[in-house]
Copies of this chain bind each other. A is one copy, B any other.
Amino acid sequence: MKSYHVIFQPSGRRGEILEGRTVIEASRELGVEIESVCGELKVCGKCKIKVEEGFFERYGISSRLEHLSPFAEEEKEFINEAEKAQGYRLGCAARILGDVLIFVPEESRAQKQVVRKAATERSIELKPAIVLHHVELSPPSFHDPLGDFERLKEALTKQCGLPALSIDYQTLLRLPQTLRQGNWKVTVTTWMEREILDVRPGKILDTYGLAIDVGTTTVAGYLCNLRNGKVIATHSMMNPQVTYGEDVMSRITYAMTHPENGLETMHLAIVEGLNRMIQAITEECSLSPEDLLELTIVGNTAMHHLLLKINPEYVGVAPFPPVIHRSMDIKARDIGIKVHPAANVHILPIEAGFVGADNVGVLIAEEPYNQDENILIIDIGTNGELVMGNRKILLSSSCATGPALEGAHIKFGMRASSGAIERIQIDPQTLEVNYKVIGQEEWHADLKIMTARGICGSGIIDGMAELYRAGIIDRSGRFRKEKVQSPRFRISDGRAEFVIAWKDETSIGKDITITQQDVRNVQLAKGALYTGAKLMMKRLGIEKLDKVILAGAFGSYIDTKEAMILGMFPDCDLKNVYAVGNAAGDGARIALLNRSKRIEADEIARKVNYIELTIEESFQKEFMESMQIPHMRDPFPHLRGIVREEML
């Protein structure tokens, strides 16, 4: 097959690319990161690139627009005639048919997300599956020529009261040397008092494990000392599958539309990512990957399936059954994860197709099943998951919030990375805007010089709530064209929008705005969450929530007040609304440190009642009403004094 010379600017990466590859595929081969929110389905428009035309002597190539495949129908929605004339294309649509020099505009460059998944302080009872035992054996003799393994078992039975142990095959292979190297004094690592995972010469005191939260966007790891339970290192990274689709459904779609290797590709992407993380996090503690004797993993059902190379196809199709619910213990080596060769991976159980092991992690961390109050737990990641109830009954459900809350399908939406507007205040009198950008300590009003690139999830929620509180949009989400007097408000191409940051405050050379369409998309997302909560209250016969817990990294960063103004969840006393950080990751850590909690996890995963919201009878009506800011028929007594009475 033919191949062509492709150069990406401004990074300068270059290489030979096979004819017919898309620009995104080429970028991946050459290590250039281009945003691809929709998983190359040509529906998000985030992967715009620009072909530079001309003969470039320096590179010895002649780059022409015709060196890409013809402009496709799907591109029209995102690229207007003027842009088209300038050479703009969608990276997922345009295919390489000749030498090209491609410029990746600032807004299309994928950036390292600011990762916000620190471990929360929690007191966890220490009862790990991994335990060390020190034993001394008598060496073999003609009168006692017993085999090495049986000799070790005898010592473990007599000295530690552990009679029924098997041994990992890989560990058996190293046993004869180890016993002799330690002069028949060794440290034995057992798992669940069932299997010998490791035998090391001499006396060893510490042993380690890693708890992992595989989020759709972010993966977080917590390296723990299993002797004292301490988190000795935390590490986060983007889920490398992000380039195959930003949300769960687009990844499932990627797997289905690439039947030959889509699943394998995404499986390898996360496994290799985990291996890089493991390398980095152990290095940080002067350990090696072989020092990790157990891993616990949580993740939503799709991430769970993709990690294990289980076909997620049916999770994406009604009635969305997962392939397996219950927790699993798999040798890390069987999945390709490089830690101690005998280490197991404990994967927490799944509740349902759209409520996964991450939610089970939240449950064992927050234990709503041990409380009397009516609790709502909202876990806002790339997917929205809800749990409601108390010690008597628990319901769970999932909301198709869509990726709007994470900045996708928002005109200037972006991930929570450097340059993202994360906080917005609008003065109700002047309608002037103040905002804060990730990477800067101070607010715009104090700093003046800004390098805003877009708006991330928490910024969008602030912005929407403030637009409403300032009377710029009404409860139905419509811009109040007739009433708003501000140069920031304008109608452009027939579309209403409100300027958050002026062009000269940005690094992208454009005004950053919130558009009518953005408002609609956030309304859909928040409406989905609210509908879920309402339908669950109805099922439980609950009038009022005692407590609202916001779990998930995103939940930790949104302003609870603004979220309630926006109507993301039903009314609740704001002092009982709080964020608990990455409770899913904490659940993984709890399961790592306390094996009894694994049993609890399996039990609660089967006990919690999953309800499929979309098939509830009143879903449509409820959803329409929930789009309102706040819900049109619900009293919000706790918003009194926060939002003007006329707005409620």
**Which residues in B have their C-beta under 8 angstroms from that of A612?**
142, 145
A321 touches B173 (CB 8 A): no
Closest partner residue, chain B, to A146 (CB atom): B321
* Closest beta carbon of chain B to A617's beta carbon, Å: 12
Tell me if A148 is interfacial: C-beta within 8 Å of chain B: yes
Determine how many copies of this chain the complex contains: 2
Bound Cα distance A434, B612 (Å): 89
Bound Cα distance A615, B610 (Å): 71
A324 touches B148 (CB 8 A): yes
Tell me if A320 is interfacial: C-beta within 8 Å of chain B: yes
B169 touches A330 (CB 8 A): yes
* Closest beta carbon of chain B to A532's beta carbon, Å: 16
Find A147's partner among B146, B180, B325 (CB 8 Å cutoff).
Answer: B325
A325 touches B149 (CB 8 A): yes
A321 touches B172 (CB 8 A): no
A322 touches B147 (CB 8 A): yes
Tell me if A318 is interfacial: C-beta within 8 Å of chain B: yes
B324 touches A172 (CB 8 A): yes
Within 8 A of B (CB), among A311-360: 311, 313-314, 318-326, 328, 330, 334, 350, 352-353
User: What does the 1/0 interface line of A211-237 toward B look like (CB < 8 Å)?
Assistant: 000000000000000000000000000
B311 touches A147 (CB 8 A): no
* Closest beta carbon of chain B to A196's beta carbon, Å: 11
**Which residues in B have their C-beta under 8 angstroms from that of A141?**
319
**Which residues in B have their C-beta under 8 angstroms from that of A322?**
147-148
* Closest beta carbon of chain B to A619's beta carbon, Å: 12
**Which residues in B have their C-beta under 8 angstroms from that of A371?**
none
B309 touches A615 (CB 8 A): no
B615 touches A314 (CB 8 A): no
Bound Cα distance A175, B305 (Å): 12
User: What does the 1/0 interface line of A136-163 toward B look like (CB < 8 Å)?
Assistant: 0000111011111111000000000000
Tell me if A257 is interfacial: C-beta within 8 Å of chain B: no
Within 8 A of B (CB), among A294-318: 308-311, 313-314, 318
B326 touches A149 (CB 8 A): yes
Bound Cα distance A149, B314 (Å): 13
A142-B318, A150-B325 known, 11 other contacts, Cβ within 8 Å: A140-B319, A142-B615, A145-B319, A145-B352, A147-B321, A149-B324, A169-B330, A173-B310, A176-B310, A176-B313, A177-B311
In the assembled complex, 26 residue pairs joining A and B whose CB atoms fall closer than 8 Å, in A order, are A140-B319, A141-B319, A142-B318, A142-B612, A144-B319, A145-B320, A145-B352, A145-B610, A146-B321, A148-B321, A148-B322, A148-B323, A148-B324, A149-B323, A149-B324, A149-B326, A150-B324, A150-B325, A167-B324, A169-B330, A172-B308, A173-B311, A175-B324, A176-B310, A176-B314, A176-B323
